[in-house]
Chain A
Amino acid sequence: MDIAGQIASYTYQYFDNLGFLLLSGIGLIVIYGVMGVINMAHGELMMIGAYIAVSTFYAGVPAPLAVGLGGVGSGLVGMIIEQLVIRHFYNQLLSSLVVTWGISLIISQGTLLLLGPSIMNMPTPLGSISVGSFAFGVYRLVMFATALGLIAATWALFRWTKLGAQAQATMEDPVMASALGIDTRRVYTLTFGLGSALGGIAGGMFAMTATISPFFGQNYTPMAFITVVVGGGASPIVGLTYAGMYLAGVQTISSNLVNEYIGYVSVIAAAFIALLVMPSGISDFFEQRRIRRMSR
């Protein structure tokens, strides 16, 4: 056993798990942070992105562009869903949870009817590199880099654009924001579209590592939900990053020491422990501490 290879293996798996959590969680947590809605149809939006990415890829579009198209497609679908359904459920958190779940059922079952249960896949690009006796796929690293890129882009969007400022104001106090002339409905629609597009991009990225089927999204959503719940909604980017780092660490260690199933179980156990200390998520916890320090 070569130690360098072992260390590289653990590090690689950690970043691999982290990449998965960040990619599948980012769209979800943006929507949750701004609107307070946990979008149960997120997995299905990822599935739409994956299908678009794969079919455009086989139509001859280069892979990165195909993934981008998947994001655009999911984003449009997300905005339509928001316009048709979600806007009737603002401020009713539990009802919005249930209604988005209904939408997810419609999308996945509809896809099953349209395309059948047949599975599609896409080759994993970019080969592998080896350290010691271990071989590592380069694509997983690209996925992690993409996750970082998307997080940075979302952060920049919230930090520097007018829409971002409006979204932050809406997060802080929707009534006040609309009194100041911000069209909060537009902010909500665009946010939902943005979150869906991020989900679609994630779906397109995952399509190159797994076979896709109408229930493709369900493989990723449980972990994404846990990440979002642990992250909290006060500051989506911070929450997502910390929650991802924490849960990916737990998952890497326990799935290596025991098995993959124990890995999942210890993630949810770790989530419960984190929630005992910080009941409304990591970012809310930091936010409250910051407020307390400022008021002193």
Chain B
Amino acid sequence: MRTLVKPLMRFGRAFNGPQTLGNSPLFWICWLAAVIALIVFPLFGSRYHVLTASNFLISTILAMSLCLIWGYCGILSLGQAAFYCIGGYAYGIVAMNLIDSQGNTDLAIVAGVVVPAAFAALIGALMFYSRLKGVYVAILMLVTSLLLGLFMRQTADPSYTIGGAYLGGMNGLAPAKASDPSLPSIILGFGNTIFEFDGRGRSFYWLVLGAAVAIYLGLRWIVNSSFGYVLVAVREDPERTETFGYDVRLVQLAVFCLSAAIAGFAGTLYTAWGTYIHPDGFSVGANILVVIWVAVGGRKDLSAVIVSTVALNWISIELATWGEISMLMLGMILVCAMLIAPDGVFTGLGSAIGRATRRRAPAAAPTPEPAPAPASAMMPRRSQ
């Protein structure tokens, strides 16, 4: 038994560290239970519930992308939805052009990730290499997103077609001619094998769930790796990080591109989910939602952000039955949360739970470091 657990623990240690809450076995057991519950959920939930849950999961991916740059690296982007939408449009345009000749949407998914990352590389290089203040970066990203939205709104003219895709202004992406294929959902092809995921079905839900779990684990690994430590160092004090020999601008640019790629992937999934994308995604409302999810949950922790994204999405759907008050309530939740719990509601809750469980068993684990034991024999140990 021990021989089996030990390598597993060593593997698991890569996902644990001071950069994330929830490093105890208890947390991981709860996490596994939650993932299993999510996996079996479509077997019990109705079609509508599965459809909505897919959208929630897509939102968590988008929220994680903002959490990565804002919470861990201190770069606030008020225009994160721009990357989401760019990814969505890129996926849609490529998919509509290639679906007939290729039979799958593999390249379209790649485009949905690479195009926003490339855009982020361009605009990020301009911003970070001229060492703009953080406030300026935040504002410029918002303005960029609004301008892209403005551009997409005025593409109703029939001349705005890219191959078989017509940008369509406020009506959203559509086929250029009646003979052109409509926007497909995700179709993965490996050689001759084809896996089709219908955006309204269970298989799509499981695909999104798998992607979300993979991205969550991947990001936990990144933020607890040495690159993650550099990210936090840049957040805490860029000048000092620079004097230690790190190129702060390069670190910022790299994490910005990574974040844009993740957001673009979320946008890809969103377009495939509804087989629809339109310019409202670039608007103020779309951008502020992402910031609300991240700020309310606790920007410095991935798990807290995921919980708050799902909770807030659920709240806004519930509120929608009461009329047009959901945005108003979300604004109030944001302001109240920032006043009462500046580090986020779920981060506060999480650390309170952590303190409570740790206090119960203080004798089992003596708090001071067990001094002896040759240092070389020990695993690289990370502080609590």
Other A-B pairs beyond A36-B135, A38-B139, A98-B295, 16, CB < 8 Å? A93-B134, A93-B135, A97-B138, A98-B291, A99-B334, A101-B288, A105-B288, A105-B330, A112-B324, A113-B324, A222-B147, A268-B147, A271-B140, A272-B126, A275-B132, A280-B136
Query: Does B335 belong to the interface (CB within 8 Å)?
Result: yes
Q: List residues 127-141 of chain B with CB under 8 A from any CB of chain A.
A: 130-136, 138-140
Residues 161-176 of A, flagged 1 when their CB comes within 8 A of B and 0 if not, give 0000000000000000
Expressed in whole angstroms, the Cα–Cα distance for A61 and B382 within the complex equals 70
In the bound complex, residues from chain B placing their C-beta under 8 Å from that of A94 are 70, 74, 76, 134-135, 138
B142 at the interface (CB under 8 A from A): yes
How far, in whole Å, are A14 and B146 apart by their CA atoms in the complex? 23
A103 and B135 CA atoms in complex are apart in Å by 18
Distance (Å) between the CB of A105 and the closest chain B CB?
3
Q: A99-B335, A101-B288 are in contact. Are A261 and B135 (CB under 8 A)?
A: no
Cα A207 to Cα B70 in complex, Å, equals 37
**A218 and B291: CB pair below 8 A?**
no
Assuming the contacts A105-B288, A264-B147, asked whether A229 and B338 have C-beta atoms less than 8 A apart, the reply is no
Residue of A nearest to B329 (CB): A109
Residues of the B chain whose Cβ atoms lie less than 8 Å from the Cβ of A110: 328
Q: What number of A-B contacts does a CB cutoff of 8 Å give?
A: 106
Q: How large is the interface on A (under 10, 10 to 19, 20 to 34, 35 or more residues)?
A: 35 or more
**A36 to B151 alpha-carbon distance, docked (Å):** 31
Whether B143 and A222, one on each chain, are in contact in the complex, defined by CB atoms closer than 8 angstroms, is yes
A76–chain B nearest beta-carbon distance, Å:
19
Report if A95 contacts B (CB, 8 A).
yes
Q: Is B144 positioned at the interface, with any CB of A under 8 Å from its CB?
A: yes
State whether A268 touches B143 (Cβ < 8 A).
Answer: yes
CA distance A109 to B134 in the complex (A): 28
Q: Give the contacts of A88-137 with B (CB-CB under 8 A).
A: 88-89, 92-95, 97-99, 101-106, 109-110, 112-113
Contact between chains at B327 and A109 (CB < 8 Å): yes
A251 to chain B, nearest CB (A): 13
CA distance A225 to B284 in the complex (A): 14
Inter-chain contacts of A88 with B (CB < 8 A):
339
> Top 3 closest A-B pairs, CB basis?
A105-B331, A102-B334, A109-B328
| B151 engages A261 (CB within 8 Å) | yes
Q: For A104, list chain B residues within 8 Å (CB).
A: 331
Roughly how many angstroms separate A275 CA and B132 CA in the complex, as a whole number?
8
Residue in chain B with minimal CB distance to A262: B151
| CB-based contact B154/A275 at 8 Å | no
Which residues of A have CB within 8 Å of B324? 109, 112-113
Instruction: Give Cα distance in the complex from A279 to B249, angstroms.
Output: 14
With a CB–CB cut-off of 8 A, which chain A residues contact B291? 98, 101
Is there an interface contact between B130 and A268, defined as CB atoms closer than 8 Å?
A: no
- The answer to the question of B342 belonging to the interface, with a C-beta cut-off of 8 Å to chain A, is yes
Contact across chains for A105 and B130 when beta carbons are under 8 A apart:
no
Measured CA separation A153–B172 after assembly (Å)? 47
Say if the beta carbon of A85 comes within 8 Å of chain B.
Answer: yes
Cross-chain contact of B136 among A98, A113, A218, A229 (Cβ < 8 A): A229
Looking at A98, A99, A109, A218, the one whose CB has the most chain B CB atoms below 10 A away is A98
- Chain B nearest CB from A274 CB (Å) reads 10
> Are B330 and A229 interface neighbours, CB within 8 A?
no
Contact with A along B296-332 (1 / 0, CB 8 A): 0000000000000000000000000000110110111
- B211 surroundings in chain A (CB, below 8 A): none
CA distance A276 to B338 in the complex (A): 33
**Does B150 have its Cβ within 8 Å of any Cβ on chain A?**
yes
Contact status of A279 and B132, CB under 8 A, knowing A101-B78, A229-B140? yes
